[in-house]
Amino acid sequence: MADAALLQTPLHALHLRLGARMVPFAGYSMPVQYPAGVIAEHRQCREHAALFDVSHMGQLRLVGADAAAALETLVPVDVVDLAPGRQRYAFFTNASGGLLDDLMIVRTPAAAQATFGDLFLVVNAGCKDADTRHLSTQIGHRCQVLPMPERALLALQGPQAAVALARLNRDVADLVFMSGGPFDLAGARCFVTRSGYTGEDGYEISVPAQDAVALAEALLAQPEVGPAGLGARDTLRLEAGLCLYGHDIGETTSPVEAGLSWAIQKVRRPGGARAGGYPGAEVIESHLAGAAPSKRVGLLGLERVPVREGTTIVDAAGRKLGTVTSGTLAPSVNQPIAMAYLPRDHALPQHEVYAEVRGKRLPMRVVPMPFHPHQYKR
């Protein structure tokens, strides 16, 4: 795609001013790294606080008293019982039990409903148009489905994120993991959730597009905060064992195979009060009962050679077991790490498999995820 055809976030000029290297991503021109480099940005997030521009993501609001029950017909998670001000991870499923996208849902507190509707959703950049159509087609008769292109989205992540953000509004420190509400930040009315995609404590901040630069500059002026791009975002989320849609999860993987069963609450499982009733329920329920043919696993490299996405994984006899979906030389773990789908009989802790890299078989060990401990404020 030519640069001229790429969309730009409201922070585009700021990225250029900060010396970012821009790359095409999901139809947008996005910063992959700044002059400090990916490893420095990764460490900035793990040790202090890093600011990410995630304005390419899709923000939508669902408006109507029936919104939560309607959304439950498209996702296998509990939306109806979600309390105001609470956030939940979810995923849209298809008829074969695969994943159309993963998303975050907030039951909007009363003080924010005029702007953010009854439910506030954040979906992946590459899926947002398809997700909007899916929602409008399937439940548009039960609630209003309203995209919010007039808003930007910033992610402030790291152990000192709360200290930095509290200087702009001390009340944000009261939020706990997966909660959110409206806050005034740098003169802008924002919606802030204590959540993120790095495994660290931190916040995601929905801000009016016209106020995004002023807010970003106010955050970058804090001594704890530095900018970070897509490169560090990827190494951080991989160390945290978090999936990237289109790579680690997609339309042919069920949430059970993907290791996301924890996100399906008891009330939506067989025997629960609102079991089933979403696309692919029969397949997913069979997988919950033990029929899933494969499982997403973490792999730790036993030699210091990066194992990248697309690498074939084999057993000791050279038989193909699966393919790496994400992999990197992890800055915090200081070893090669990867995720892959393996048959259930090989997806066992400490089981040894081999990655085929440039004609060599490199040993890797199946390990629990996350590779680096989560630091959420619960």
Say what percent of the chain tops pLDDT 90. 99
Same domain? 151 vs 7? yes
Residue 362 lies in a domain: yes
State the CATH number of the domain containing residue 73. 3.30.1360.120
- Domain finish residue from 270, 290, 310: 290
Per-residue pLDDT for 194 more than 90? yes
Domain hosting residue 30, numbered range: 1-290
Residue 377 lies in a domain: no
Cβ count near 10 (within 10 Å)? 21
User: Distance of CA 9 to CAs 14, 54, 57, 225, 289, Å?
Assistant: 10, 9, 10, 20, 44
CB 263 within 8 A of CB 178: no
pTM of the model: 0.97
Same domain? 204 vs 328? no
- Domain finish residue from 290, 325, 347: 290
Residues 163 and 44: their CA atoms lie apart, in Å, by 15
CB 265 within 8 A of CB 72: no
pLDDT of residue 1: 42
Same domain? 351 vs 224? no
State the CATH number of the domain containing residue 364. 2.40.30.110
* Residue 273 token pair: 């009060």
Per-residue pLDDT for 4 more than 90? no
Number of domains in the chain: 2
- Domain finish residue from 252, 272, 290: 290
Q: Which of 4-13, 197-206, 367-376 is predicted least confidently?
A: 4-13
Same domain? 180 vs 314? no
Same domain? 255 vs 349? no
Residue 252 lies in a domain: yes
Same domain? 267 vs 308? no
